[in-house]
Amino acid sequence: MNVQRYITYQLTLEIKEPITLTIGVLGRFTLPAGRYLYTGSARKNIDQRICRHFKKVKPRRWHIDYLTTHPAVTIIAVQKFSADECQVNQQSAGEILITGFGASDCRKKCGAHLKYVKDH
Protein backbone atom coordinates (compact mmCIF):
# COMPACT_ATOMS: atom_id res chain seq x y z
CA MET A 1 0.00 0.00 0.00
CA ASN A 2 1.40 3.39 -1.02
CA VAL A 3 0.62 5.99 1.65
CA GLN A 4 0.68 9.65 0.61
CA ARG A 5 3.31 11.50 2.65
CA TYR A 6 2.65 15.21 2.95
CA ILE A 7 5.69 17.38 3.64
CA THR A 8 4.50 20.77 2.37
CA TYR A 9 1.48 22.87 3.24
CA GLN A 10 0.07 26.09 1.93
CA LEU A 11 -2.02 28.49 3.96
CA THR A 12 -4.42 30.90 2.30
CA LEU A 13 -4.64 33.94 4.53
CA GLU A 14 -6.95 36.91 4.42
CA ILE A 15 -5.93 40.28 5.79
CA LYS A 16 -9.13 42.26 6.41
CA GLU A 17 -7.54 45.71 6.49
CA PRO A 18 -4.06 47.11 5.83
CA ILE A 19 -1.70 46.23 8.69
CA THR A 20 1.74 47.34 9.79
CA LEU A 21 3.89 44.94 11.75
CA THR A 22 7.48 44.23 12.64
CA ILE A 23 8.60 40.77 11.54
CA GLY A 24 11.65 39.73 13.54
CA VAL A 25 14.90 40.90 11.97
CA LEU A 26 13.23 41.39 8.55
CA GLY A 27 11.92 44.75 9.73
CA ARG A 28 8.71 46.76 9.71
CA PHE A 29 6.22 46.37 6.86
CA THR A 30 2.78 47.54 5.82
CA LEU A 31 0.72 44.90 4.06
CA PRO A 32 -2.40 45.73 2.06
CA ALA A 33 -5.72 44.01 2.71
CA GLY A 34 -6.33 40.96 0.56
CA ARG A 35 -5.38 37.32 0.13
CA TYR A 36 -1.94 35.81 0.67
CA LEU A 37 -0.40 32.38 0.19
CA TYR A 38 2.18 31.11 2.63
CA THR A 39 4.05 27.91 1.76
CA GLY A 40 5.75 25.96 4.52
CA SER A 41 6.94 22.46 5.29
CA ALA A 42 7.36 19.98 8.10
CA ARG A 43 9.42 16.81 7.92
CA LYS A 44 7.17 15.26 10.56
CA ASN A 45 4.01 16.22 12.44
CA ILE A 46 2.68 18.38 9.62
CA ASP A 47 -0.84 18.45 11.11
CA GLN A 48 0.53 19.75 14.42
CA ARG A 49 2.45 22.46 12.57
CA ILE A 50 -0.68 23.51 10.69
CA CYS A 51 -2.76 23.56 13.91
CA ARG A 52 -0.11 25.77 15.52
CA HIS A 53 -0.64 28.38 12.81
CA PHE A 54 -4.29 28.76 13.88
CA LYS A 55 -3.33 29.75 17.44
CA LYS A 56 -3.46 33.50 18.05
CA VAL A 57 -1.35 33.27 21.22
CA LYS A 58 2.01 31.54 20.79
CA PRO A 59 5.73 32.26 20.87
CA ARG A 60 6.84 33.97 17.66
CA ARG A 61 9.31 31.42 16.35
CA TRP A 62 8.90 31.81 12.58
CA HIS A 63 8.12 34.76 10.30
CA ILE A 64 4.59 33.46 9.74
CA ASP A 65 3.90 33.70 13.49
CA TYR A 66 4.09 37.49 13.31
CA LEU A 67 1.37 37.44 10.68
CA THR A 68 -0.95 34.75 12.05
CA THR A 69 -1.08 36.30 15.53
CA HIS A 70 -2.32 39.64 14.17
CA PRO A 71 -6.06 40.15 14.85
CA ALA A 72 -6.78 41.29 11.25
CA VAL A 73 -5.36 38.05 9.78
CA THR A 74 -7.40 34.88 9.26
CA ILE A 75 -6.39 31.54 7.77
CA ILE A 76 -9.19 30.67 5.36
CA ALA A 77 -7.84 27.50 3.70
CA VAL A 78 -5.08 24.90 4.01
CA GLN A 79 -3.72 22.53 1.37
CA LYS A 80 -1.13 19.79 1.82
CA PHE A 81 1.30 18.51 -0.81
CA SER A 82 3.81 15.72 -1.18
CA ALA A 83 5.97 17.97 -3.41
CA ASP A 84 8.93 20.03 -2.20
CA GLU A 85 8.14 23.34 -0.47
CA CYS A 86 10.03 25.44 -3.02
CA GLN A 87 8.42 23.64 -5.95
CA VAL A 88 4.92 24.36 -4.58
CA ASN A 89 5.88 27.96 -3.82
CA GLN A 90 7.36 28.58 -7.27
CA GLN A 91 4.25 27.20 -8.97
CA SER A 92 1.99 29.52 -6.98
CA ALA A 93 0.94 32.84 -8.44
CA GLY A 94 1.38 36.02 -6.48
CA GLU A 95 3.62 38.96 -5.74
CA ILE A 96 6.42 39.01 -3.18
CA LEU A 97 5.98 41.99 -0.86
CA ILE A 98 8.49 40.99 1.84
CA THR A 99 11.74 39.56 0.48
CA GLY A 100 12.97 36.68 2.63
CA PHE A 101 9.66 36.05 4.43
CA GLY A 102 9.53 32.36 5.35
CA ALA A 103 12.56 31.66 3.19
CA SER A 104 15.44 31.74 5.67
CA ASP A 105 16.39 28.19 4.76
CA CYS A 106 15.38 28.35 1.07
CA ARG A 107 18.05 26.95 -1.25
CA LYS A 108 16.17 27.46 -4.52
CA LYS A 109 16.09 31.27 -4.61
CA CYS A 110 12.33 31.64 -4.16
CA GLY A 111 12.70 35.16 -2.81
CA ALA A 112 10.00 34.55 -0.19
CA HIS A 113 7.44 31.93 0.75
CA LEU A 114 4.66 34.49 1.29
CA LYS A 115 2.88 35.84 -1.78
CA TYR A 116 0.22 38.49 -2.14
CA VAL A 117 -2.55 37.32 -4.44
CA LYS A 118 -4.45 40.61 -4.46
CA ASP A 119 -7.93 41.54 -3.39
CA HIS A 120 -10.41 39.27 -1.76
Query: For 6-31, what is each residue's pLDDT tens digit?
Result: 899 999 999 999 999 999 899 999 99
102, 67 Cβ separation under 8 angstroms = no
In a domain, 81, yes or no: yes
Question: Where in the sequence is the domain holding 102, given as residue range(s)?
Answer: 8-116
In a domain, 28, yes or no: yes
pTM, entire model: 0.93
Residue count of the chain, please give it. Answer: 120
Q: How many domains does the chain have?
A: 1
How large is the average pLDDT for residues 100-120? 89
In a domain, 1, yes or no: no
Sign of CA dihedral 7, 83, 98, 14: negative
At 2 the pLDDT is: 60
In a domain, 3, yes or no: no
